[in-house]
Amino acid sequence: MQMIERFLLGGVIVSLFAALGDVLRPRSFAGLFGAAPSVAMATLTLTLLDEGKDYAALEARSMVVGSIAFLLYVLACIRLMVKWRTPAAPTTVAMLFVWGISALGLWWLLLSNL
Amino acid sequence: MKIEFNRASLRQLKLHDYLTRFVLGGAITVATGLIAKHYGPVIGGLFLAFPAIFPSGATLIEKHELDKKLRAGIPFTVRGRLAVALDARGAAMGAVALAAFGLIIWRFLAHHNAAVMLGLALAVWLALAVLIWRVHKLHIYLSFRR
C-alpha cells in the first residue's frame, strides 16, 4: 500500500513539474523545471510521515551531493550535444552514468566518513 | 527576455507522453524509497536529485523539433539537438538551485515546522533558479552590447 502511495505521489508531482516545463517559454527558462525538486518533494513528504525529521534531514544532506552530480550530468550532456553533435535522446540516457559515478564519488569523498 | 505561457504545447503531447512521465516519476520515487530502506538515508538521499524527467523531456523536445521539420519537408535538422542543449542549460541552473533546496531542508528541518520548511525550500529553489537565469540572460545581453 505504501509503495502505491509513493508511486502515485511521485508520478503526480513529477508530471506537474514536467507540464510546467512544457508550457513555459523561452526554452532555457523552461529547462529550469527539468531540475525541479519533484522526486525530493514526494519522497521527503512520505519520509517525514513515516520516519521523522532526522531521517529526512539526512536524506536532504545527501541530496546536496546528488544535485552537484546532476549539474555535472547536464554539463556533460551539453558538451556532447553541442561540441560532438551527438543526438539528444541517447546522450541524455547514456550520460546518466556520469550522474551515478559523480554521486557515488562525491558521497565517498564527502559523506562516507561522517 | 519575457517569460511566456504557451498552453498550445500541451496539446502537442500524446497520452503516452504523459503516461511515460507519470510512470517514470512514480518509479523513481518508489526506487528512492527502496534504496533508502536497503542502504540507509545517506545513499537513498542521493537519488532525491536523480535526473528523473530530464532524459524523457529531452527526447520529447528533439522528437517534436524533428517532426516539425519533417512536416515542412526537411528530413534532417540540428534544431532538436540545439533546443535540448538550451533546455539542458536551464536544467544546469536549476540544479544549482536544487542544491540550495537540499541545504535548507538539511540545516533547518529539525527545528521548524516540516510543511513550512518544504514550502520555503521550494520557494527558494524557484527564486534562486529564476535569479540565476535572469543574471545569465543579463550577462549575455551586456556581452553583446560591448
Greatest CA span in chain B, whole angstroms?
61
Which one is predicted more confidently, B77 or B56? B56
d(CA A90, CA B126): 29
d(CA B30, CA B34): 6
pLDDT at residue B75, rounded to an integer = 67
pTM assigned to the model: 0.92
d(CA B141, CA B11): 33
Q: Residue B81: which of A11, A57, A85 has the nearest Cβ?
A: A85
Which residues of A fall within a CB distance of 8 Å from B46?
Answer: 62-63, 65-66, 69, 103-104, 107
Which one is predicted more confidently, B5 or A5? A5
Which one is predicted more confidently, B143 or B66? B143
CB of A83 within 8 Å of any CB in chain B?
no
pLDDT score of B32 more than 90 = yes
Q: Which residue has the cell 544532506?
A: A61
DSSP A113: T
Q: How confident is the model at residue A8 (pLDDT cuts 50, 70, 90)?
A: very high
Q: What ipTM was predicted for this assembly?
A: 0.94
Q: How confident is the model over B130-140, as pLDDT tens digits?
A: 999 999 999 88
d(CA B99, CA B102): 5
Cell reading at B82? 540545439
H-helix or E-strand containing B15? Answer: helix B15-39
Chain B: nearest CA to A33, how far in angstroms?
7
Q: How confident is the model at residue A27 (pLDDT cuts 50, 70, 90)?
A: confident
Contact A22 B9 (CB under 8 A): yes
Residue of A nearest to B65 (CA): A88
Give the DSSP per-residue string, B52-92.
-SHHHHHHHHHHHHHHHHHHTT----SHHHHHHHHHHHHHH
Residue of B nearest to A19 (CA): B10
Q: Which of A44-48, B79-83, B98-102 has the lowest mean pLDDT?
A: B79-83
Q: Are B85 and A76 in contact (CB under 8 A)?
A: no
DSSP A31: G
CB of A108 within 8 Å of any CB in chain B?
no
Q: How confident is the model at residue B63 (pLDDT cuts 50, 70, 90)?
A: confident
Whole-angstrom CA distances from A104 to A38, A97, A100, B40 are: 21, 11, 6, 14
Helical axes A38-50 vs A53-83, angle rounded to 10°: 160
Interface of B with A in 43-62 (CB under 8 A): 43-59, 61-62
pLDDT at residue A2, rounded to an integer = 81
pLDDT at residue A56, rounded to an integer = 96
pLDDT score of B106 more than 80 = yes
Q: How confident is the model over A34-82, as pLDDT tens digits?
A: 999 999 999 999 999 999 999 999 999 999 999 999 999 999 999 999 8
pLDDT at residue B77, rounded to an integer = 66
Residues forming a β-bridge with B5: A24
